[in-house]
Amino acid sequence: MWTGLKGLVDKNKVTWIGGRGRFEGPTTIRIALNGEDGAPGGGAGGERVVTARDVIIATGSRVKSLPGLVPDGRRIITSDDVTTKADLPKSIAIVGAGAVGSEFASFFHDLGVAVTLLEYLPGIVPLEDRDLSQALERSFSRRGMKVMTNARFDAASVKVSDDGVTLTVGPEGGPATELKVEQLLVATGRAPNTEDLGLETTKVELERGFVKVDGWMHTAQEHVYAIGDAIGGLMLAHVAAHEGIVAAHEIAGEGPEPIDYDHQPRATYTHPQVASIGLTEQQCTERGIAIKKGVFNFAAVAKAVIVGETEGFAKVIADAATDEVLGVHLFGPAVTDLIAEAALGMTLEATAWEIGAATHPHPTLAEVVGEAAMAVAGRQINS
């Protein structure tokens, strides 16, 4: 995929410079060029200084660990290590059950690895609607994974040996037991790559290491923008791409709409999949929004029966007064594709009735969205 992106850069006559750059003032970048061996920014390739009217910071992020847990790439590993190694452990404990931790838990289980998933918070995929979180946890447990929420352990209890890792872990307020696994995967989030950029020579502001921006991706420094993981938030590839589009249109003077993070879809590639957009039911309660909701199960969808994937449901949340869709939450087969319909509907400020009234071809998995939207008014057909 990287070579495809490089091809697009070349096709559009964009100058590509390999090296490490640092700001020297708001619109000047000094680059330590890569050497002939491709080694990044060691100065072996000399230096180059570029200036521009506008600059976009898109330096991404890196995996981070917990204090006291030092990944060694063999016994204590990160998601980066998983994607570059071919060996498969017999057992693994995963610390952190957000999207990344849950995805790798599902992945390793499908490959026959004994999986223990540990989450500090009360539910896995904690940013999702509680119904989705609980459904995924039940699914994992039924499949034979060990899931512990409210998990507590002391990093000092983690012992690494030639044949594996041991740690003492237990639920908050409950008894702790010793857990022994071949590998420990740390999936506790990502840190922004904003150090050593020379930002002190600009007015760019940071908050917990992330670049502060507004809805048009402006930083506090005029003509300097920032996008992607460097600014935090959802930290998803498609969201970063949309932020880049907003920044580019703003630089071009085309007056784009500011990015609305409530309208950015989220996709988690577990089995079954999780996908969502908009507000959760809990967020609506916190904001004092009166809602109505509709839920429809995949078990009643013919295509789900045909493909043998009937676990899961669609949940549509609408404003009780206006019927405008506030959130769509999906759990089941191919829902990371189905969420695009909800994204379009919410961009167009659709009501639940309008989504339900749109004809959904039969038999398709997409019918679950239409039925859930009709269920908001109690008018679902196939139940």
**Tokens of residue 105, six digits:** 């838990």
Per-residue b/e over 293-316, b at no fewer than 16 CB within 10 Å? bbbbbbebbebbeeeebbbbbbbb
Q: Are 31 and 11 in contact (CB under 8 A)?
A: no
56: nearest Cα among 250, 288, 286? 250
CA separation (Å) from 64 to 120, 187, 330?
Answer: 16, 8, 29
Backbone angles phi, psi at 98, to 5 degrees: -75, -160
Report the run of H or E that residue 146 belongs to, with start and end: strand 146-148
Distance CA 276, CA 132 (A): 9
3-state SS string over 184-240?
Answer: EEECCCEEECCCCCCHHHCCCCEECCEECCCCCCECCCCCEEECHHHHCCCCCHHHH
SS3 271: coil
**Tokens of residue 251, six digits:** 């630089």
Which residues does the annotation mark as catalytic?
A: 362
Q: Are 232 and 222 in contact (CB under 8 A)?
A: no
Distance CA 184, CA 158 (A): 10
Angular region, 4: left φ>0, alpha ψ -120 to 50, beta rest: alpha
Distance CA 177, CA 179 (A): 6
